[in-house]
Structure 1
Amino acid sequence: MNPSTALLAADRLDVRIGPRLLLRQLCMQVRRGERWAVLGRNGAGKSTLLRQLAGLGEGPAPVLLGGTALSALSPRALAQQRAFLPSQPRDRFGIAVLHAVTLAQHSVDDAAAMDCLRRVDAAHLAHRHVLQLSAGERQRVALAQVLAQRTPLLLLDEPVSFQDPAHQGLVARLLRGLPQQGIVFAAHDVNWVAHVATHVLGLVPGGQWIAGPVGQALQAHPLQRLYGCDWQRVPRQDGPDLWLPV
Structure 2
Amino acid sequence: MIRPYGRRPRPPAPGDILAEARDLRVRLGARDVLTDVALTVRAGEVLALAGPNGAGKSTLLSALAGDVPPVRGTVSVHGRRAADWSAPELALRRAVLPQAPALSFPFTVEEVVRMGRAPYAADPATTPADDDRAVAEAMAATEVTAFAARPFSTLSGGERARTALARVLAQRAPLLLLDEPTAALDLRHQELVLRLCRSRALAGDAVVVVVHDLGLAAAYAHRVALLRAGRVVATGTPAEVFSERLLSDVYDQPVEVFPHPRTDGLLIAPRRDL
| TM-score > 0.5, shorter chain as reference | yes
1:52 aligns with 2:40: no
1:12 to 23, 27, 34: 23
* CA distance in 2 between partners of 1:100 and 1:203 (Å): 32
The answer to whether the 8 Å contact 2:50/2:211 transfers is yes
The answer to whether the 8 Å contact 1:85/1:143 transfers is yes
* Structure 2 CA distance for partners of 1:91 and 1:217, relative to 1, 3 Å: same
* CA distance in 1 between partners of 2:105 and 2:267 (Å): 42
The answer to whether the 8 Å contact 1:23/1:209 transfers is no
TM-score, normalising length: structure 1: 0.94
Runs of 5+ unmatched residues, structure 2:
1-9, 122-127
* Structure 2 CA distance for partners of 1:206 and 1:115, relative to 1, 3 Å: closer
- Give me the identity figure in percent: 36
* CA distance in 1 between partners of 2:133 and 2:227 (Å): 40
* CA distance in 2 between partners of 1:234 and 1:69 (Å): 41
User: Structure 1 segments of 4 or more deviating over 3 A?
Assistant: 1-5, 58-61
* CA distance in 1 between partners of 2:218 and 2:238 (Å): 7
TM-score, normalising length: structure 2: 0.85
The answer to whether the 8 Å contact 2:54/2:229 transfers is no
1:84 to 83, 86, 96: 96
2:181 to 138, 154, 159: 159
User: How many angstroms does 1:163 deviate by?
Assistant: 0.3
Deviation per residue, 1:60-93 (Å, 9 max, x gap):
7611111011111000111011000011101100
1:243 aligns with 2:268: yes
1:232 to 256, 264, 271: 256
* CA distance in 2 between partners of 1:206 and 1:137 (Å): 31
SS at match of 1:104: helix
The answer to whether the 8 Å contact 2:19/2:76 transfers is yes
1:115 aligns with 2:122: no
* Structure 2 CA distance for partners of 1:206 and 1:92, relative to 1, 3 Å: closer
Counterpart of 2:6 in structure 1 is none
The answer to whether the 8 Å contact 1:50/1:157 transfers is yes
* CA distance in 2 between partners of 1:33 and 1:79 (Å): 19
Runs of 5+ unmatched residues, structure 1:
none
* Structure 2 CA distance for partners of 1:6 and 1:208, relative to 1, 3 Å: closer
1:223 aligns with 2:244: no
Worse-superposed segment, 224-233 or 1-10? 1-10
* CA distance in 2 between partners of 1:208 and 1:218 (Å): 14
* CA distance in 2 between partners of 1:9 and 1:197 (Å): 18
Bigger radius of gyration among the two: 2
* CA distance in 1 between partners of 2:102 and 2:65 (Å): 18
Deviation per residue, 1:189-238 (Å, 9 max, x gap):
00011111011111123635321122101111221232111111233221
Counterpart of 2:156 in structure 1 is 134
Deviation per residue, 1:95-139 (Å, 9 max, x gap):
111111111112452232021001011111211111111110000
Counterpart of 2:199 in structure 1 is 177
* CA distance in 2 between partners of 1:156 and 1:64 (Å): 18
User: How many angstroms does 1:21 deviate by?
Assistant: 2.0
The count of aligned residue pairs is 246
User: How many angstroms does 1:58 deviate by?
Assistant: 4.0
The answer to whether the 8 Å contact 1:21/1:207 transfers is no
Root mean square deviation of aligned Cα: 1.7
Counterpart of 1:62 in structure 2 is 74
Deviation per residue, 1:160-191 (Å, 9 max, x gap):
11100011111121111112100111010000
